[in-house]
Structure formats: C-alpha cells, structure tokens
Structure 1
Amino acid sequence: MRGGFRVQHQEEEEESAFVSMTDMTVSFLFIVMLLLAFFASQYSESDTVSRTMYESVVSERNRALEEVENLRALLAEKETIIEKKSAEIVELKKANDELRNEITEREKRIAELEEIIAKSKKPDPLEAYLTRSAAERRRILETLRDQLKIDFPDLQVVISEESDALRFQGEGLFDRGVSTLKADRKAVVEKIAARLQQILPCYTLGPMSAWNEECNPGSSIIEALQIEGHTDSDGNPDSNLNLSTARANSTFTTMTISEPRLVDFHNFRNQPVLSVAGYGQMRPIRKNDTAEAKATNRRVDLRIIMYSPSRSVEIERIRASLEKGDGVPNGAP
C-alpha cells in the first residue's frame, strides 16, 4: 500500500512539473507574440529601400569617397606647386626689383651722357669765334687773289696751303737777286694796297675803322698784315736775309706811298697791323733741290694773322671795340 502511494505521489509531482513547464512555455510564447506585435506596429515601408537602390547608393557613395580622396591628393599636389610657384614669384619679384634698379641707374647714366653730348654739340664760343676768323681770313685772301687774277692774268699768285697768306712766287714781283720791284709789277702792289684800303676798315681799329654786321658778322679782327720776303738757298744766308728784308721793305714802301693811311689801321692792342719781315732762306716751302722748287721758295707772302682771344669773355670786348673803333688802351690784354 505504501509503495503504491509513493508511486502515485511521484506521478503527481511529475505531472505538476510538466504543467509548470507548459505554463512557462505558453507565457514565453505569449511574450514573443507581444514583442512581434510591437515590432510589427513600428514597421513602416517608408523607412526601407530596395536592394537595388541600396547597392546603387552605396556604389555612388564609394565613388564619391574615391573622388574626394583623389581631389584631396590633387589639392595637396596643387598646394605644393603653389608653394613652389610662390617661392619662384618671390625670386622673380626680387629679380624684377634688381632690374628696375639697374634700369634706373642706366637711365641716369644715359641722361648724363646725353647732357655731355648736348654740351659737345653746342659750339664752344671761343672755338666758334676762331673758326669764323679763319673763314674770314680765307675769304679776304680769295677776294684779293681773284681781283689780281682779273687785273693781272699772268701773275703767279696763290693762297698758301694753310690759307693764311697770299703768295707771289718766283720772279712774280722781283727780278732774281734784286730788291727793287719790277717796273711793270709796281701796279700789282698798288692794286693790293687799294684793295686793302677797302677791306681793312671792317677788320681793324683806329681812325679808319668802319665795322658793321654785314661786312664782318663774326667780329673777327686782324692782328697783323705782314709782308714777308723769302729766298731760295742759293748764295750766302746773310745776303739772302738782307735781300728778303729789302724786298719786304720795298713792297711796304710802295704800298704806303700809294695808300698812306694803311698805317692807320690798328689791331686790338692799338698797334699798326701792317708790318714787314725778312726770312731769307730759313722758311722754304719746298726742298731747294730743283729749279722749280727754288723758284717756289723765292717769294713774297702777304700774310694775314687774325687775333686769337684766349678766353671767351674777350669776344664781347672785341666786338665792343670794333663798334667804337678803338682798341685796348696802352696795349693791355
């Protein structure tokens, strides 16, 4: 009996455990159902996308990310280039500044050189005066020569190579070894004197002075009108010196007898411009090795020496003296 009771009691316990597990299972399922119901209530089709769209979006995102990375790499590369270019720009600006400075210095030097050139182009007053005086002397000599050629076609008269003297060569005025003018050449000297009487007033000072702009625009003034005698090398040097001096004196005398007032023409120092000199054989213009050369050396030169001021300020003083007709008192410079 007791054994049967224990079996019954065990069976009752097993049945009770089964019932309990069943209840638990049911309760769990109920809870699961409640959760499913909750999640089902929260579900919305608007919060979901199709698989195709999802994959497309992911693919596009990945491409965008890749492009961003590429752009960042490109940006870094460009920034590196910009840094290099910035350094180059700094160097270029520095080089440009140096070039500008160099240009400025060169322009200053060019301006200095142009100023020098302008000054060099501007004629020096003293040099210009001397040039005009030389031209006037040449013109006076040409006038005398041309007139003598008209009046005495066979006369041997030339202008010196230096354009400072009228040259009578050979036996043009004197016979060989004689200091007296040829009879038919006295008229030549007198003609020269008459022409000088007309020319000298415009280039000299003193009582006979008659300067004006038309005859002497450069204000040139004659320092000396020198009658020079020359011989060849034949004979004794002392005799030749005396002969050349005598010929110069003879020419001077003939001229002043014909035109007595020639001695009244003065230079800037108030000295008579007309003078004489004898050089004998000391100043040949050719070697005395042929008859022709000796004939050339036997000559009388009518040399015109123009006054050469040493300073530009003298030019105005010369002009003022020509206007007044008198020179520097007491021969002062």
Structure 2
Amino acid sequence: MLAFDDAAGRPAVEEEEENYFVSMTDMMVGILFIFIIMLMVFALQFQKQTDESEQQADKSKVQIEEVLEKVRQVSEQLHSLRSEINEELEDLSQSQRERTALLNDLERELKATGLDVQIDRENGVLRLTENAIRFATDKSNLSAQAADNVRKLAAVLARVLPRYTSCVVSSSATDCKQLAPGAAIDTVFIEGHTDRQGSETAAGDSRNWQLSTERAVETYRTLTAFEPSLRALRNPEKKEILSVSGYSSTRPIPGTEMPAQAAENAQQAWEKNRRIDMRFVMQVDPSDRLKDVLRLTDDMEGQIEKLQEAATLR
C-alpha cells in the first residue's frame, strides 16, 4: 500500500526523493564553491610567484647590465694598455736599431785604428780581444801596449758616444737634448773577466771576483784619464753613463768553457777570457716583461669575451 501525506496529499516516497536530491545539490554546490576558492587561492599564488619571478628577472637584468658595463670598461682599459705596450715594443725595436748603429760606428772606427774587436749585436756587447787588451795571469795592470790601445779606445768613445747621449755636463751648465725613443744610452758597463784558473777553490774563486773587478776599474781609470770628457756624458737621469762590473770566470767566451782541454788549447782559452767587454744598455724597459704583460692581456680579453657571451645568453 502507498502511504499518503495527509497534509499535502502527496506520497511520502516522493517527498523523500525530493529531499535526497536537494541534499545532493547542496553538496555539489558546496564542493564547487570549495573548488572555486582553491582555484582562486592557486591563481593568487601563481600571480604572486609570477610577480616575484618578474622582479627577480628585472633584478637579474640590472645585475647583468652592470656586469656588462664593467666588462666594457675593463675591455677599454685593456685595449688602451695593449696600445701602450705595442708602442713600448716599437720603442724597443727602435732601441735595438739604435744600439746596432752605435756598435757599427764603434766597430768601424776602432778597426780603422788597428784595434781587434768583436761585436755581439744581440746582447749589445763590444768585446776587446786579447789582441787589443791583454792581461797577464793574476794581474790587473795594463801593459804599455794595452794602455796605448785603451787610449785609442778612449778617443773613439769620445767621438761616437756623444751622438747617443742625452746630456753633457760642463763647468757652467748641463746641456741636454731630446733623442728619439730608445736612442739614448743609459749605461755603458766596462766588464772585467778572468779565466777559470783557481776557481775550483774558495780562495781562488774569491780572488777571481776581485781580479775581474780590478781589471774593469783599471780600464775605466785609464779611459777617463786619456779622455776626461767621458765622465761628462750623462743619461736622461743625468747620471754618468760609464760604470764597471766584474764577473770572475762566470761568463766565458762561448766555445772556451770546456774544462778538459789540451794544455795548448787551455792556455789559448785562458788568454781569451782574461778580457774586457763593454756592454751598452739603452734607455728602455726590458722587452721580455712587456711581452709577458701582452700575453696576460690576451688571456684577460679571452675571459672577458666568455663573460659577455654568458651574460648575453641569460
């Protein structure tokens, strides 16, 4: 039998079904509402993350631009440095040419006087052979013939060196002139040398150091005694260009350094090494250091290019 609702006149089953569907509808609406709220929360979080990402991107962009600006500045500085170094290297090349011209002038005039000299153009050395200045074993004094040869050398130096010297001192004033880069003499070293006899012992080695210096000093004194004007020649810093140094037996002439030789050959080698060299140093910086700096700037430029590429990719 069917049950009737007396008030409404409707079956009870229909009322129960209606309440069920109302509850389901309310639940679905509630779930949908919750979903909408979750979606809004997600949207807000996404928007916040997007804003933060944009801010971070803007910040990164500013940082990258700052880095690129610094890279640009460093690159300009390196370019300027490279230009300066290339100019210095050109001055060094000019210095080499000037020193070679100086050595050629000296060689030509010295040989015209009959002096036997050898020229090492690469190292800037004028070598007075044993035929020009000869020292006896364990002696630093000049023989009459050697002293006369030093007189000839002094006369040639007095004629040639002023052309390559920045300043000349007189009793009344210091007269200076502007020479081309690398064309001015900085120092002329009068270098004394010995043979290797006695170098095996401490006492002998000490004596050779003293002896080589004495030979250089004796030659210097004789040169300036014959030509006092040599002491008036000054470098760009207004310092005397003539100087002395002693090397004992540490710088033998190439080909004479072998210890085991026949007695006759050994005697000839010893005579060759009891000598005076003159080393000419021009007013320039060492080229090796400049070349090292140039290689360093090349490496730095390579690193800068890598930084620029990395910054552009970001």
Q: Normalising to structure 1: TM-score of the pair?
A: 0.50
Q: SS of the counterpart of 2:166?
A: coil
Q: SS of the counterpart of 1:302?
A: strand
Among 117, 125, 129, the residue aligned to 1:157: 117
- Paired residue for 2:308? none
Q: Does 1:251 align with 2:251?
A: no
Go from structure 1 to structure 2 and tell me whether the alpha carbon gap of 1:199 and 1:171 turns closer, same or farther (over 3 Å shift).
Answer: closer
Count how many residue pairs are aligned between Structure 1 and Structure 2.
187
Among 93, 105, 117, the residue aligned to 1:143: 105
Alignment of 1:64-213 (within 5 A): 124-152=86-114, 155-160=115-120, 162-170=122-130, 172-177=132-137, 178-202=139-163, 203-207=165-169, 209=175, 211=177
More displaced stretch, 248-257 vs 175-184: 175-184
Among 270, 275, 290, the residue aligned to 1:294: 270
Deviation at 1:189, TM superposition (A): 1.4
- Paired residue for 1:281? 249
Deviation at 1:199, TM superposition (A): 2.4
How many angstroms apart in 2 are the aligned matches of 1:157 and 1:201?
A: 21
Matched to 1:187, the amino acid is D
How many angstroms apart in 2 are the aligned matches of 1:211 and 1:269?
A: 12
- Asked if the contact 2:151/2:222 (under 8 Å) is kept, the reply is yes
Deviation at 1:130, TM superposition (A): 1.0
Among 220, 225, 238, the residue aligned to 1:270: 238
How many angstroms apart in 2 are the aligned matches of 1:211 and 1:192?
A: 25
How many angstroms apart in 2 are the aligned matches of 1:165 and 1:283?
A: 13
Which structure has the larger Rg? 1
How many angstroms apart in 2 are the aligned matches of 1:270 and 1:211?
A: 11
Go from structure 1 to structure 2 and tell me whether the alpha carbon gap of 1:134 and 1:219 turns closer, same or farther (over 3 Å shift).
Answer: closer
Deviation at 1:295, TM superposition (A): 3.4
Unaligned regions of 5+ residues in structure 1, if any?
1-119, 312-333
How many angstroms apart in 2 are the aligned matches of 1:170 and 1:310?
A: 31
Unaligned regions of 5+ residues in structure 2, if any?
1-81, 199-203, 288-314
Matched to 1:140, the amino acid is L
Deviation at 1:182, TM superposition (A): 2.0
Go from structure 1 to structure 2 and tell me whether the alpha carbon gap of 1:288 and 1:246 turns closer, same or farther (over 3 Å shift).
Answer: farther
How many angstroms apart in 1 are the aligned matches of 2:286 and 2:112?
A: 39
How many angstroms apart in 2 are the aligned matches of 1:138 and 1:273?
A: 18
Deviation at 1:156, TM superposition (A): 3.4
- Asked if the contact 1:229/1:279 (under 8 Å) is kept, the reply is yes
How many angstroms apart in 2 are the aligned matches of 1:257 and 1:207?
A: 17
Q: For the aligned residues, what is the CA RMSD?
A: 2.8
Q: Does 1:227 align with 2:190?
A: yes
Among 258, 266, 283, the residue aligned to 1:307: 283
Go from structure 1 to structure 2 and tell me whether the alpha carbon gap of 1:156 and 1:198 turns closer, same or farther (over 3 Å shift).
Answer: closer
- Paired residue for 1:23? none
Q: SS of the counterpart of 1:162?
A: coil
Deviation by residue 1:83-136 (Cα, 9 ceiling, x = unmatched): xxxxxxxxxxxxxxxxxxxxxxxxxxxxxxxxxxxxx99993211111111111
How many angstroms apart in 2 are the aligned matches of 1:299 and 1:238?
A: 18
- Paired residue for 1:108? none
Matched to 2:95, the amino acid is S
How many angstroms apart in 1 are the aligned matches of 2:275 and 2:166?
A: 26
Matched to 2:120, the amino acid is S
Q: SS of the counterpart of 2:126?
A: strand
Go from structure 1 to structure 2 and tell me whether the alpha carbon gap of 1:218 and 1:244 turns closer, same or farther (over 3 Å shift).
Answer: same
Percent of residue pairs identical: 33
How many angstroms apart in 2 are the aligned matches of 1:184 and 1:192?
A: 13
- Asked if the contact 1:245/1:278 (under 8 Å) is kept, the reply is yes
